[in-house]
Amino acid sequence: MASVKISNLKKEYGPVQVLHSLDLEVADGDFVVLLGPSGCGKSTLLRMIAGLEPITAGDVFFDDRRVNDIHAKDRNIAMVFQNYALYAHMSVRKNMAFSMRLKKIDKKIIDEKVEWAASILGLEPYLDRLPKELSGGQRQRVAMGRAIVRDPDVFLFDEPLSNLDAKLRVQMRTEIKDLHQRLKTTTVYVTHDQIEAMTMADEVVIMRDGVIEQAGSPMDIYDNPGNLFVAQFIGSPGMNIVECQVSEANGKLCATKGDLQLPLPSNANVINGQTIYYGIRPEHLQATRQASLAASDSNDKSITGVVRVVEPTGPEIHIYSKLDNQDVCSISRDRVLWAPGEDIHFIPDVEHVHLFDGDTKLAI
């Protein structure tokens, strides 16, 4: 196993700069997920770590070894791609054994390793089948098996689950996490699915337009997004964001937009007149039918909207409402029936409010 370090890494395709001076450290044994919207440079970065893409500037290290000039096949990595690229004419067993046979490893050891990988991945019943005789999830596991028998220093995954149906995707992400907990192989995993990133990663690295916006543990990023982009990208349903003005009402500062008055956290570092983005996650916006409950003291106005769409998910209900022309989502775990068109009042959990500067869009 190895740590991976990226230092001042740049990628240009002709005049187009795709990655801008990236720095990143993946500790030995960590599971790091690169997350970001389509086109932000995740695959490019992964392919540069793999040695499949020329480096414009900067360095890639595996432990202390600079690998810029080392060929992909000599980096001791294993990659799993979105299309599993199995050899169609080879059985599962032969697919998994292929890289070891190329290295002329002893047949007995190859057989042992294939059996070991098959048992870990639940593939024993399928060893003599061809890929076309397998389901998508089984094929995905064969691709994984082909990777783990190589005993790589680093696993590189590029959206390996995106071809699977929703249920299998959830199942496979648990399998991959379990596998990582057992093998502890350093892993860099690319996805644009924030739930996948949150659930699997030791550390999530959020990218946008070729820069790293924030890196941290899943819960830290969720609880403390450093800027507006990260706040909006992480979380489903997403954080409610209202562009507001800080103003004074009844002797205290609050955030206002039109007739809407939103309470500020007690320690908010804002000044009267400042433009801010007021963010609150749906689970921190309690919905109630009683306006009196929603006003936290006699001076406060209640925050009142109109229900637009109600989405029951089972454990909770997502209520989408219009609040002064603004779409907001609140999550309720109560079995309360809400109807489109009815009035709804909100109690924001004010200590969980996130504020972002109107100009820099950085967290305040």
Ligand X SMILES: Nc1ncnc2c1ncn2[C@@H]1O[C@H](COP(=O)(O)OP(=O)(O)OP(=O)(O)O)[C@@H](O)[C@H]1O
Binding site for ligand X (CB under 6 A): 13, 16, 18, 36, 38-44, 192
Q: Which is nearer to ligand X, 38 or 267 (CB)?
A: 38
- Which of Mg ion, ligand X, none does residue 267 bind (CB under 5 to 8 Å by kind)? none
Q: How far is the CB of 86 from ligand X (least distance, A)?
A: 21
Q: Which amino acid is at 251?
A: G
C-alpha distances in Å from residue 302, one per residue of 2, 140, 267, 297 = 56, 52, 22, 9
Q: Which is nearer to ligand X, 193 or 202 (CB)?
A: 193
Task: Please report where in the chains the tokens 């089948």 appear, as a residue.
Answer: 129
Cα-flanking dihedrals φ and ψ of residue 180, to 5°? -65, -40
Helix runs in the chain, H state only: 42-50, 92-102, 107-121, 136-148, 166-183, 194-200, 218-223, 228-233, 291-294
Q: Which is nearer to Mg ion, 164 or 294 (CB)?
A: 164
Q: How far is the CB of 43 from Mg ion (least distance, A)?
A: 3
3-state secondary structure of 354: strand
| DSSP-derived secondary structure letter, 302 | P
Q: Which amino acid is at 30?
A: D
Residues 166-205 that bind Mg ion (CB under 5 A): none
Q: Which is nearer to ligand X, 162 or 296 (CB)?
A: 162
Task: Using CB under 5 A, pick the residue from 41, 43, 96, 138 that binds Mg ion.
Answer: 43
One DSSP character per residue, 24-54 reads EEE-TT-EEEEE-STTSSHHHHHHHHHTSS-
Q: How far is the CB of 333 from Mg ion (least distance, A)?
A: 36
Q: Which is nearer to ligand X, 42 or 169 (CB)?
A: 42
Residue 332 binds Mg ion, judged by CB under 5 A: no
Q: How far is the CB of 16 from ligand X (least distance, A)?
A: 6
- Which of Mg ion, ligand X, none does residue 337 bind (CB under 5 to 8 Å by kind)? none
- Which of ligand X, Mg ion, none does residue 54 bind (CB under 5 to 8 Å by kind)? none
Task: Please report where in the chains the tokens 């039918």 appear, as a residue.
Answer: 289
- Which of ligand X, Mg ion, none does residue 192 bind (CB under 5 to 8 Å by kind)? ligand X
Q: Which is nearer to ligand X, 211 or 364 (CB)?
A: 211
132 CB-near residues (< 8 Å, 6+ apart): 88
- Which of Mg ion, ligand X, none does residue 39 bind (CB under 5 to 8 Å by kind)? ligand X
Residue 274 binds Mg ion, judged by CB under 5 A: no
- Given its phi and psi angles, is residue 63 left (phi above 0), alpha (psi -120 to 50 degrees) or beta? left
Q: Which residues bind Mg ion (CB under 5 A)?
A: 43
